[in-house]
Amino acid sequence: MNPTRPSEHGRDILPHRPVNGVRPASRGLLSIVIPCHNEEEVIESTHQRLVAALPSTGMDFEILYIDDGSRDGTLSRLEAIAAGDPRATVIELSRNFGQQSAMSAGLAQARGDAVVIIDADLQDPPEVIPEMVECWRSGADVAYGRRRSREGETWFKLVTASCFHRFFASLVPYPIPVDTGDFKLLDRAVVDAVRGLPEKRRYLRSLVAWTGFRQEPVWYDRHARSAGETKYSTRKLLRLALDAVMLSSDTPLRAAWWGAGFLTTLAVGAALLACLMPAGDGTLVATITALIALVGAIQTTAVAIVGEYVIRTYREVQGRPSWVVKRTIGGNAGSEAGHEHRPGARAA
Ligand code: UDP
Ligand code: MG
């Protein structure tokens, strides 16, 4: 990696490497990535709020709008925004690929030293971005928005989201913050680490957590949607939740071991009972129970063993590296060490 990177403004930007854990306050480039699907009612005010809030970060900025197959007037409004503001770029996807793909498309194009992902609907206030930049400058690699409160959501959504976040965190084998969405700032090293992952099907929230690095919360109040409606039906949300779990956790497949353990215990218990109790109808019931449980235990164990192979095959195909280097100190560290991530070889 070259220690300096040309910016869109025609000058070189020093990478924001932390020095003694703190990043220098030189300008640098901040990219804002915004997935948009049918957001015509709100997109202009989103742009106005962003350009009003971003100068106080002290950074140059670019705003990347990803039009994810909108069928309303979103695209023409975005075109007008880009025509009037050279800091805005519109990336039009060829159809609706979903928010996760739209965000990844934005990350792929973002050139900033830091990248903020934010929804188009002003639920995440752009005024929080300067705080995220401060958090990043003080050494965090990911400054994630953590919701203190959530306006405008039904109690059903609040309860299910809160339960899901906690359930999901318990299934995933690395720390993942709860009560957060996609509103966050990522350091260039984290963006590169996420972009370097070869998997196509993505759940960005857990991929960012997977990369590790120093991740810190920035607390904020999440507002109600400024206009328009949520793009997530209950069915779409359930599909997303299933994707999140399947992509990030082996626990559902491993649950077969619990079934095998239960059935084995039942088989042994019923067999002991059959041996110890005096002969009669009870012995017959216990013997039949033991036999049925034994057959069930053998079958469930077979499923669990197949599951172990499936887990390994799936994780190999997913192709995530076995480690991410945050930096190398001394020796042949080189001038880039403080800012570089190098995906390791795949697991054997
Ligand atoms: N979005 C998208 N593609 C989709 C659905 C949503 O790019 O297929 C965008 C949407 O325009 C918004 C963000 O993703 O900027 C979050 O969507 P929404 O506000 O509907 O989700 P909610 O906040 O209700 O969970
Ligand atoms: Mg929203």
pLDDT tens, position by position, 176-224: 999 999 999 999 999 999 999 999 999 999 999 999 999 999 999 999 8
Of all protein residues, the one whose alpha carbon is nearest to atom 13 of ligand 1 is: 119
- Please check whether residues 242 and 258 belong to one and the same domain: no
Q: Based on the fold, state whether residues 305 and 244 are members of the same structural domain.
A: no
Residues 20, 162 within the same domain: yes
Is the domain of 116 the same as that of 165? yes
* CATH code at position 218: 3.90.550.10
- What atom in ligand 1 is closest to the CA of residue 66? 7
For ligand 1, what atom is nearest to the CA of residue 98? 8
The SS3 of residue 89 is: strand
Q: What is the pLDDT of residues 95-118, one digit of tens each?
A: 999 999 999 999 999 999 999 999
Name the residue range of residue 278's domain. 251-318
190-205 in b/e form (b: 16+ CB < 10 A) is: bbbbbeebeeeebbbb
Give 281's pLDDT tier (boundaries 50, 70, 90).
confident
Helix (H), strand (E), coil (C) string for 38-79:
CCCCCHHHHHHHHHHHHHHHCCEEEEEEEECCCCCCHHHHHH
Residue 54 lies in a domain: yes
| Ligand lying nearest the CA atom of residue 181 | 1
255 and 185 co-located in one domain: no
Kindly state if the Cβ of 231 falls inside 6 Å of ligand 1: yes
Q: Are residues 157 and 306 in the same domain?
A: no
**C-beta atoms surrounding 157 within 10 Å:** 15
**CB 39 near ligand 1, within 6 Å:** yes
The torsion angle over the Cα atoms of residues 184, 186, 191 and 193, rounded to 10 degrees, is -100
Q: Which residues surround ligand 2, an ion (CB under 5 A)?
A: 119, 121, 123
Position 75 in a domain: yes
Q: Which atom of ligand 1 is nearest to the CA of 35?
A: 7
Q: Examine the domain organization and report whether 186 and 237 are in the same domain.
A: yes
| Predicted confidence (pLDDT) at residue 11 exceeds the cutoff of 60 | no
Domain boundary among 248, 268, 289: 248
Same domain membership, residue 175 and residue 140: yes
Query: pLDDT at position 15, please?
Result: 52
- Pocket-testing residue among 124, 231, 238, 240, ligand 1, by greatest number of atoms within 8 A of Cβ: 231
SS3 98: coil
User: Is the pLDDT confidence value at 3 over 60?
Assistant: no
Would you say the CB of residue 232 lies under 6 angstroms from ligand 1?
yes
Please count the structural domains in the chain. 2
